[in-house]
Structure formats: structure tokens, C-alpha cells
Amino acid sequence: MDAKMLLVDEVRLTPILISDPPLLNVQGVHQPFTPRLVVEVITRGGVSGLGETYGDGVYLEIARPIAEALPGRAVTDVNSLFALTASADPALPAAEGGGVDVDASIDAGGLRGARTADKLRLSVVSAFETACLDALGKSLGLPVHALLGGKVRDTVEYSAYLFYRWAAHPGAGPTDDWGAALDPAGIVAQARRFDRLHGFRSFKLKGGVFAPEREIAAIRALAEAFPGRPLRLDPNGAWSVETSLAVARELGDALEYLEDPASGTGAMAEIAARTDVPLATNMCVTTFEEVPEAFAKGAVRIVLCDHHYWGGLHRTRELAALCRTYGVGLSMHSNTHLGISLAAMTQVAATLPGLDHACDTHYPWQTEDVVTPRPVFRAGRLAVSDAPGLGIELDRTALATLHRRWLDDDGTLRDRDDAAAMRVADPAWRTPPVPRW
Ligand code: GKR
Ligand code: MG
């Protein structure tokens, strides 16, 4: 192939709003619609590659200069993408009520640890990297996993992501037929439906919503309903060291791992030193800079990778290599996402030898998508596509509809804000400082 065909001719950025159910977490509740950004990179050979990432305004600002700088560069040149973000100077959030405190340093809504300018840049770079690899794979007739060195498995296992939730958003919003889940019976019913629909074997409960006793009861109910199945609980750092240890004592026999029981490497290390329950994180190890201290202190036994904020599929593999080197396990984190991200997650997961836990995905909660046909989980697994690129097709009609929703929004939903969404139901709500319990 003529290398000129691999030069980028055009880049399209399409911000969209996708419907999201009223899922509860420590910061509040998901908004009725959440922003995502779809990146399309079109080569001179006329091949289009797809990427997806967070769509809040701050990510869009970083994406624009990359999109402008990319034409004329080769889709093979993914290592230079980060340098293209140099001119973007993303604004970091202030705490509610002003000032900077621990709440402000935690990613608002996304709950994926400290929010830094570089992490925001990497989250945007990841979508361009994915789009370039998709375009390269399609141009060469190779799946993305082949560009990453080849798959080591034919299917990738995902876990059911259980949430406390309301039946409907307060005020207007999209509806679904899942109903409320606010107690152990509701959580077990949700798990049964996930099991029936998608065959998931392992279950993760998003905690930090209710007092720990209530969440312990939910895990106990799950253990009874699904004996021997891997169970995880993730309160997003909402507990103190002592509370985390008390929960670990109560649930030690039932948990595959306890995810981010407390906030910060120091607290996690203290808990790890005093319990045998494996601790996992997608909050205290979220950048390469955070690795040395956390690994040296033995703060976590499992790191949840995420190609979005780790900066792409190649960097996810670098993280995996580090984890292997230090004997730390690997799982995969998820946030609200569509089928482009799911395809990228599956392609990179297929190449990670040390991925020994089922990956998280919010995808089954999403009723809308921009890819067609929608991926189907069988026995909780997705088959790894061997089709060129990511192996997905863009549904342009769906993309246009979701973009139209973004254009029509008055600006209030263009940034994910779970605390603001909670205030619709409870005007006095403020994201609770951690530790909450
Ligand atoms: O979607 O509410 C949510 C989750 O809490 C998400 O924001 C987290 O980033 O799922 C994530 C996690 O594992 O912490
Ligand atoms: Mg987590």
C-alpha cells in the first residue's frame, strides 16, 4: 500500500448526549443524558476510523487542537498524539462553593481519581489513538488486536455492573423498565436480570450510596443467590480505614475484591496491611506517576485499567506490563460508554495476558448506541472481532440524532454532574466529603 494513503485527510468531532438511567453513586446520581465525544479520522485512502471518549466541554477543548493538527500526519504515528495537546490548557474544577479541596481533586462524576490536566489530555488522546488504529487496521485488513501484537484469547469476559437506582429520573428524562433497586432484594433482582439477559458470571455492586451495613447486606444477599460467583463492592473511596476494615471482616469470605474502599494511596495501604481481602483500584492508581508509591506500599493487589484515561490502547498494554512485573493483578474499569469504546476495550483486553478478572462495563445500561449491530454478550463474554479495525460500523443516523440532542441542549447537560442531577430530587444535596462513613 502507498504510505500516502495512511495520511489523515480529515477529522470529525461529534459531541453527543446519550440517555443514561438514574444510577446512584457517592457523588449523586447519573444525569438523564451524559456527554460523549465521537472522533472520526478519515485517511487519504478514504478509510474512516472511530474513537470515543468523555464528551464534557473540557475534553472538547482539548480535542479541537488535535483535530486541527492531525491532517497530513500518518495514522501510524500515534506516539506523537500527546504532543498535539500542548496548546490545550484545560481548566481544572473548583470545589463546590469555591476553593480547592479533596472533592475538587477527584474527578467530578467520573469517579476515577485525581483530576489532572495531563489525565484530561490522555483521555482525549485515547479516542484519537483508537480512531487511528481503527483506520490503520481497516486499511491493512487487520483487526486492532493484531496491531497490538495479537490476541491471546478469543472472548473477553465482562461482569454485571449492579447499581442502586431509582425507577425514573426526577423530573423529565428517559425511562426504562428496570424499576428501582434500593435494597438487597432489588439488587438481587437486578443481578438475576443481568444473568438472564447476558449470562454474566461475576457481579460488581457500586456502593458508597447507603450506610455500609446496608451494602454489606446486599453483598450477602448476592452471595446467597449466586453461590460461588465472584462478587465485588466499590464505594469509590467513601469509607474510612476503620470502616473499610470492618466491611472487609464482614465480607472477606464473599468478595473477589474490594474496590477503592477508602480514598488515597495512604489509606488503601493501611487497609491492605491489615486485611487479606484483595484491594483493587481505579482511583488511587490512575497514572504512571501514581504507580511507584502504590506498588511500593502494597496498597493494591489489582489495578483496573481503562484505555480512556490511561491514554490509549498502547499505554494500557504498558500498564499491564508493569502490573505483571510487580505481581499486581489486572481488571478493567468502565464508565458510561457506547459501542465504540466497548469494541476498543474488547480489542485491547484480548491482548492482555495478565487480565485475570472479568472487565467492568456500563454498556448493558445504555439503550442507545452509534454502532450497528449492537454487540451481544454470550455467557457474559464478547467474542473478539477479527474483522479489520475495531470491527464495528458507525450508524450515522443514530449519531446525527444524538448530536442533535447535544446541539439542542441549553448547556446544562453538556458536562456530567452527578451532584447537580441529585439536587433535582434533593435541593440541599452536596457531594459528601470523604470519608463519608
Ligand atoms: O458510573 O456511577 C458511575 C461509576 O461510579 C463510575 O463513575 C466510576 O468511575 O464505575 C466507576 C468505578 O468503578 O469507580
Ligand atoms: Mg471503581
414 CA → ligand 2 middle, Å? 23
**pLDDT class of 91 with cuts at 50, 70, 90:** confident
Looking from the CA of residue 24, the nearest atom of ligand 1 is 2
By percentage, how much of the chain surpasses pLDDT 90? 92
What number of residues does the chain have? 437
User: 289 pairs with which residues across the strands?
Assistant: none
Q: Is the pLDDT of residue 102 over 50?
A: no
Residue nearest to atom 2 of ligand 1 (CA): 25
**Upper half-sphere CA count for residue 135 (Cβ side, 13 Å):** 32
Provide the 8-state DSSP code for 71: T
The pLDDT tens digits of the residues spanning 392-412 come to 999 999 999 999 999 999 999
Question: Looking at 47-51, 144-148, 428-432, which range is the least confident one?
Answer: 428-432
Pick the CATH number of 3-144+395-410 from 3.40.50.720, 3.30.390.10, 3.30.43.10, 1.10.760.10: 3.30.390.10
* Averaged pLDDT, 280-303: 98
Q: What pLDDT shows up at residue 90? A: 81
pLDDT of residue 103: 47
Please tell me the predicted confidence (pLDDT) of residue 97. 37
Which bound ligand lies closest to the C-alpha atom of 30? Answer: 1
C-alpha cell at 178: 428496570
Q: CA-CA distances (angstroms) from residue 190 to 158, 178, 218, 228, 254?
A: 16, 8, 11, 18, 19
Q: Among all ligands shown, which has an atom nearest to the Cα of 112?
A: 1
CA distance linking residue 302 with residue 250, whole number of Å: 20
The C-alpha cell that represents 247 in the structure block: 466491611
Instruction: Give the number of the ligand closest to the Cα of residue 162.
Output: 1
Residue 98 scores a pLDDT above 60: no
The burial of 248, by beta-carbon neighbours within 10 Å (0-12 exposed, 13-18 middle, 19 or more buried), is given as buried
The three cell numbers of residue 20 are 443514561
Question: Class assignment of domain 149-389?
Answer: alpha beta
What confidence tier does 114 reach under pLDDT thresholds 50, 70, 90?
Answer: confident
- Distance, CA of 406 to CA of 60 (rounded, Å): 13
Residue 96 confidence class, pLDDT cut points 50, 70, 90? very low
What CA–CA distance (Å, rounded) separates 268 from 262? 6
Mean pLDDT computed over 37-54: 98
Ligand lying nearest the CA atom of residue 234 = 2
Give the containing element (helix H, strand E) for 58: helix 57-69
Please give the grid coordinates belonging to residue 326: 510487580
Report the distance separating Cα 165 and Cα 187, nearest Å. Answer: 9
Average pLDDT over residues 118-143: 97
93 band by pLDDT with thresholds 50, 70 and 90: low
- What are the start-end ranges of the H helices in 226-312? 241-251, 265-274, 291-296, 307-310
What's the gap in Å between 39 CA and the centre of ligand 2?
A: 26
What spacing in Å lies between the alpha carbon of 281 and ligand 2's midpoint?
Answer: 6
Q: Which atom of ligand 1 is nearest to the CA of 304?
A: 13
Per-residue burial over 72-99, b if 16 or more Cβ lie within 10 Å, else e, is: ebbbbebeebbebbeebebeebebeeee
CB 197 within 8 A of CB 176: no
- What pTM value is reported for the model? 0.96
Task: Give the amino acid at 377.
Answer: F
**CA 69: distance to chain centroid?**
27
Centre of ligand 1 from the C-alpha of residue 385, in Å: 26
Alpha-carbon gap, residue 379 to 157, rounded angstroms: 8
Helix axes 241-251 and 265-274, enclosed angle (nearest 10): 40
Does residue 105 have a pLDDT over 70?
A: no
Which residue type occupies 370?
A: V
What separation in Å is there between the alpha carbon of 27 and the centre of ligand 2? 13
Pocket test for ligand 1, best of 20, 23, 24, 25 (most atoms within 8 A of CB): 25
What integer best gives the mean pLDDT of the chain?
95
Cα(402) to centroid(ligand 1), Å: 22
Pocket perturbation via mutation, ligand 1, pick of 30, 236, 305 by most ligand atoms within 8 A of CB: 236
Task: Report the nearest-CA residue for atom 1 of ligand 1.
Answer: 335
Q: Which residues pair with 43 in a beta bridge?
A: 8
Q: Which residues are catalytic?
A: 206, 333
Give the H or E element holding residue 279: strand 279-281
Per-domain boundaries in the chain:
3-144+395-410, 149-389
Whole-number pLDDT of residue 95 = 44
- Count CB-CB contacts under 10 A for residue 356: 11
Greater model confidence, 109 or 73: 73
Q: Report residue 86's pLDDT band, with 50, 70 and 90 as the boundaries.
A: confident
Instruction: Give the percent of the chain with pLDDT over 70.
Output: 97
Q: Could you read off the pLDDT of 240-281 as tens digits, one per residue? A: 999 999 999 999 899 999 999 999 999 999 999 999 999 999
DSSP per residue, 345-399: HHHHHTT-TTB-SPBP--GGG----SEESPP--BTTEEEPP-SSBTS-EE-HHHH
Radius of gyration of the chain (CA): 21
> Given the CA of residue 25, which atom of ligand 1 is nearest to it?
2
Atom of ligand 1 nearest to the CA of 208: 5
Q: List pLDDT tens digits, range 311-352.
A: 999 999 999 999 999 999 999 999 999 999 999 999 999 999
Residue 319, Ramachandran bin (φ over 0: left; ψ between -120 and 50: alpha; else beta): alpha
d(CA 174, CA 393): 25
Ligand 1: which of 111, 307, 359, 362 to mutate, judged by most atoms within 8 Å of the beta carbon?
A: 111
C-alpha span between 386 and 261 (Å, rounded): 38
314-317 long-range CB contacts below 8 Å, 24 or more apart?
314/78, 314/79, 314/129, 314/148, 315/122, 316/348, 316/352, 317/148, 317/149, 317/348, 317/351, 317/352
Q: How far is CA 55 from CA 36, 188, 205, in A?
A: 4, 32, 25
Residues lining ligand 1, CB < 6 A?
Answer: 23, 25, 110-112, 206, 234, 236, 282, 333-336
Residue 163 Cα: closest atom of ligand 1: 2
pLDDT in tens, 178-191: 999 999 999 999 99
